[in-house]
Amino acid sequence: MLRPVAILTVLLGLTASAQPPSAARERQERRVALSSGPSDPVPELRVAAGVLTALVFDSPLDRSSVELEGRERFRIVDVGERIVALEPLVDLGPGERLGLRVRFVGGAAQERGVMTLVSHASEVDTRVEVFHRRDSVELLQADLADMRARLKAQTEELQTLRALRDSSGPVGLFVSGMLDHRGVTAERILTGSKRANGESLTLVNGTSFRAANWAFIGVTVRNDGKKPWAPGTARIVSARGGTEVGVLAVRSSLPRIAPGEVGLVLIETEVPSWKSGEACLLELLDSEGTSLMTISSMTF
C-alpha cells in the first residue's frame, strides 16, 4: 500500500503535468543575509515549477538539520555540504509561503538560518548566495566587488559621454566629414524687418551657417502674440530665382514659447543651390501653415 505522502506526491505530480506551462519569468542571481535578530526581515527566495534554485551557503551545513515545509511538494530537494537545490512540482499559490530552516556545522543554536519560499509572477531565483551573518567578511567583500563593478561601469559610461560630447564639437565635425578646408560661412540676420499683419513673432537676432554639405539657420524670436507658439515649419526661398531650399527640421530651445517670452529656433536645411551670401526670404509658420514671422531679405 502506498503511504499518504506517496499518494500526495503522485497526485501533485499529476496536477503538475496537467497544469499549463508557467509564464516566462526573469531568472535572477542574487545574495541574501540571514536574519540576525527577531526584528530583521526573513529573506524571501523565489521558486518556480520547472526551475532549479540553488542556494549556496558561505559555511558548511548540518545536512541532517535542514527542514523544508511541504517537502513532498518538491520534485528536487538535494542537500550538500554548502548547497541546497530546490525545484517545486508546482508553483506556490498567491500569498503562500513555505519555510526553510538550516543549521551550520559547529554553530550554536543561534546559528540557525530561516528563509521563506514564495512564487513570484515575473521573477525566479536560480542562484542565491546565502550568508549566515550580515556583517560577514565574505558578504562585505562581495558587496565591495559589486560596488567596484558598478563604479567601473559608471566610469566607462562617463568616458563614453565625454567622447560623444567631444565628438560633437569642431573636431567631431571634421572627423565626420561635415567640415572640410572650405570651412563654414556665417551671415548675420539683421533685425528691423517690418512685421506683416497677423504675424506674432519678432526677430531679435539670428545667424545663418553654410558648409560644404550642411546648413542651418538660428534665429532668436520674441512672441508678441497672445498665444503660446511651438515651431511648425519654415520656408526659405531665393530672392533672385524663387528657388526654395528643403527644410529638414525646425526645433526650438523651448517646447512652447509663451507670450512675451524669447526663444531660440533652429532651422536645419539642405545646402542651398544658390551661391553663398545671396538674398533670400525666411518665413516661420505654425503647425497649421499660418505665417508668424517673415524676414523678407536675409543672406544665406
The pLDDT value given to residue 235: 92
Output the domain CATH number for residue 54. Answer: 2.60.40
| Residue 135 burial class via C-beta count within 10 angstroms: exposed 0-12, middle 13-18, buried 19 and up | exposed
Query: Per the domain annotation, does 175 fall within a domain?
Result: no
Query: Per the domain annotation, does 208 fall within a domain?
Result: yes
The pLDDT value given to residue 189: 81
Asked if 211 and 110 sit in the same domain, the reply is: no
The pLDDT value given to residue 194: 56
What is the extent of the structural domain holding 109? 25-139
- 37-69 burial, b at 16+ Cβ within 10 Å, e below that, comes to eeeeeebebbbbbebebbbbbbbebeeeebebe
Domain final position from 84, 113, 139: 139
Query: Per the domain annotation, does 156 fall within a domain?
Result: no
Taking the chain (300 residues) in consecutive chunks of 10 residues, what is each chunk's mean pLDDT? 37 42 77 77 92 93 92 95 94 93 72 89 93 68 74 78 64 70 80 65 90 89 88 90 91 87 92 88 86 86
Domain final position from 104, 139, 174: 139
Output the domain CATH number for residue 256. Answer: 2.60.40.770
Our count of domains for the chain comes to: 2
- Cα angle: 28, vertex 29, 35; to 5 degrees: 115
Asked if 32 and 114 sit in the same domain, the reply is: yes
Domain final position from 121, 139, 157: 139
Asked if 29 and 121 sit in the same domain, the reply is: yes
Asked if 126 and 200 sit in the same domain, the reply is: no
The pLDDT value given to residue 140: 67
